[in-house]
């Protein structure tokens, strides 16, 4: 170990930590666990990894559908404004 270190070119906060998975406790029906294990075996992964991937995929689909709904509302608002102007 050196007696002195040069930190003159160091950057504060340069260390970027990777998001890690958190351990939680979840109570599932035996049927649900069996299904998770069977599906996970089909993909050659652990059932907890499969559950995580499944939940992320569903969350992403939900995000897309929410964005789509917002875009639909914005389009409807534009159409209503255009129709109101045409009526006047």
Q: Where are the domains of the chain?
A: 30-87
* Digit-coded pLDDT (tens) for 59-70: 888 887 777 777
What does the pLDDT read at residue 27?
Answer: 94
Q: Which residue has the tokens 């709904």?
A: 69
What is the token pair recorded at 68?
């789509």
Cβ contacts of residue 43 below 8 Å, gap of 6+?
50
Provide the whole-model pTM: 0.56
Cα(71)–Cα(78) distance, integer angstroms: 11
Cα(30)–Cα(25) distance, integer angstroms: 15
Under 8 Å between Cβ of 27 and 34: no
- Judge residue 48's burial from the number of C-beta atoms within 10 Å of its C-beta, 0-12 exposed, 13-18 middle, 19 or more buried: middle
What does the pLDDT read at residue 74?
Answer: 82
* Digit-coded pLDDT (tens) for 4-49: 888 888 787 767 777 888 899 999 999 999 999 999 999 999 999 9
What is the token pair recorded at 61?
């689909």
What does the pLDDT read at residue 83?
Answer: 79
């Amino acid at each position: 170990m050196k007696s002195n270190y040069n930190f003159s070119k160091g950057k504060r906060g340069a260390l970027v930590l990777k998001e890690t998975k958190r351990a939680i406790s979840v109570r599932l029906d035996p049927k649900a666990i069996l299904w998770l294990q069977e599906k996970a075996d089909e993909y050659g992964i652990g059932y907890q990894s499969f559950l995580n991937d499944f939940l992320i995929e569903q969350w992403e689909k939900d995000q897309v559908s929410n964005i789509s709904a917002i875009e639909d509302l914005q389009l409807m608002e534009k159409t209503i404004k255009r129709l109101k102007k045409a009526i006047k």
